[in-house]
Amino acid sequence: MKSQRCKGTRDLSAEEMAAFRLIEGVFRDCCLKWGYKEVRTPTLEYLHLFTSTGTLTPSRLGKVYSFLDWDGWSGERVVLRPDGTIPVARLYIDSMEGKKLARLFYVANIFIFEETGKENRERWQLGAELIGVSSPLADAELVMLALEVLKRLGLRGVELKLSHAGLIRALLAKLELSPGEQTELFDRILDGDTKALAKLKLEKGELGGIDDFRDIAQLLETLDCDYQIDIASGRGFEYYTGIIFQLFQNGEKLGGGGRYDALIPLMGGKDIPASGFALYLDHLMKLVKPETLAKRQPQRILVRTEAEAVKDGFNAASRLREAGYTAELELGGQKEAYFDWRLEVKGKPPLFILTDQAKRQKFETKTIDEVLKLLPKT
């Protein structure tokens, strides 16, 4: 019987992992330079973390992978995390609540059941959370950070769409519906149901959230950031309370985020404001162009060593790696066209012969230091 992957899962080839690491590296570098610090949460979390506070809707909870963590007599029901933000909020409550301000980021996989198995059930996210402050400036910071990551990945034509959960909820409150009916209609609006949205009439000056929405929009305009207002654009943001932003390219959603001031208090923490975003790494991998990836790759050098010069060959390869190059010992079967340079290490003078594969130029040297001077700077 032929072995098969689990339905809805995927392998990542060496080429795909190169794109994965490139995107991850750009995201990590951007976050660190903005003052964010990396955290990591467990893949397993208790189910009640997502149910007791109503942080996920019933439709989303119906798609989580849950099972009993049995200890012989009793057990807790646990889940493969279906969301990246809630575990980080839990981490903050557990060990960081004394901090006035926390800028955190993560790279994590999440798991969502999909019936057909044609779509990925394991998905990768790049997430940033800004905890401890509530202001238009904080919200604008997250938008600009997300856009910077996409720009550095070489993506153009990214569209920013803005919505506001507080504004939608204020509109719903005016309809005098029951809490259950409001929740149902809220979900329909976020899913893009224009008929549900048509029931709402905006009356300026009477609605909570409109001033906040305006202040954030004006700040983004000051920063020369183009955006579109799309109130019915917030699918998957059930626990958000304020601004919601989403990022698209050619109709494909690349990520999004917003403000969730009620989440940490609902999870048993103090009254702490927070906001954040996630970018969808799986989608970004399809969009990174080969030339962008090539620019990020270090120069590749094939090291060919004669039998009597094995030690010198290993030492030379080590020096090349320390200098930032990729140095691969020739073991047979490698295609020379795959490498930028070839370095032959001999047992007698000239000890090193360096070949520029593209220009077919050869250089003879006596020391590895001379070789390093001939190579382009990393």
pLDDT tens for residues 152-202?
A: 999 999 999 998 887 776 666 666 666 666 566 555 655 555 555 455 444
What structural domains does the chain harbor? 14-292 (3.30.930.10), 298-374 (3.40.50.800)
Backbone CA torsion sign across 357, 362, 363, 368: positive
Rounded Cα distance between 97 and 90, Å, is 10
Query: What count of other Cβ atoms lies within 10 Å of the Cβ of residue 173?
Result: 12
Quick one: 302 exposed, middle or buried, by C-beta within 10 A (0-12, 13-18, 19+)?
A: buried
Task: State the amino acid at position 370 in one-letter form.
Answer: E
Residue 345 has what pLDDT?
97
Residue 92 tokens read as 């903050």
pLDDT digits (tens, 9 = 90+) for 33-88: 999 999 999 999 999 888 876 667 677 778 899 988 887 666 788 999 999 999 99
Task: Output the pTM of the full model.
Answer: 0.82
